[in-house]
Amino acid sequence: MSDYMYFQSRAILAPTLKSVEKVNNFVLTIFSGMKNEYLSSDTTCQANENEDVKQEWFTPEFLNDIKCSGLLNHKLTLKSGVAVMLLQNIDQTSGLCNGTRLIVNKLGSNVIRATVVTGRNIGDKVYIPRMNLIPSDSGLPFKFQRRQFSLTVCFAMTINMSQDQSLSHVRLYLPKSMFIYGQLYVALSRVKSRSGLRI
């Protein structure tokens, strides 16, 4: 299953991040190979950005538990051969943009080697470093920084994230009825032919 051509035009689509995470975690458990767990490094930002906040108020455990839209998870579990998606623009000239899908080739402690499977640089071997991210709208009264690989496992992806994709084989995972009819239209329009769709 590590052949990148296999993943190039296939995806499982789901309406919510929670359902996507459930599918990806399940597939990851049955995927062969040794798993590597990468934990983020979370810190509050400098005092001038958080005037009324003292860094010692927030334990690393508290910061690690924060989840919000646009923020990488504290824990990232990967295996060699797994399909992943880039969650940040790294180098647009090389095609390493938000939404680019890749296959993991080698797991290092500070860098991950992967093969690009979507976009204009299909087949290129690239190196993904850890990156710093400061969420712009976390809903929290302070700013903090998370340092983590800007990747997520992507056997499944949200319907919204699939909007720029053209896929031959789409599986829809709908644990509940669709809450927005537009999402169903987007999901159905991702697949090239009716025979490539399963619900």
Tens-digit pLDDT profile for residues 50-101? 556 666 677 788 888 887 766 788 899 999 999 999 988 998 888 898 889 9
48 occurs within a structural domain: yes
Select the highest-mean-pLDDT range: 33-47, 61-75, 80-94, 161-175.
80-94
110 occurs within a structural domain: yes
Element (H, E) at 60: helix 60-64
- Identify the domain containing residue 30 by its residue range: 15-158
CA distances from 152 to 12, 45, 48, 139, 190 (A): 14, 24, 32, 22, 20
Q: Residue 153's pLDDT band (boundaries 50, 70, 90)?
A: very high
101 occurs within a structural domain: yes
pLDDT of residue 110: 92
pTM: 0.79
CA distances from 3 to 12, 22, 50, 102, 103 (A): 17, 24, 47, 11, 8
124 occurs within a structural domain: yes
Given a cut of 70, is residue 193 above it in pLDDT?
Answer: no
Q: Which of 80, 76, 83 is nearest to 41 (CA)?
A: 76
177 occurs within a structural domain: no
Total domain count for the chain? 1
Task: Check residues 102 and 142 and name the one with the higher pLDDT.
Answer: 102
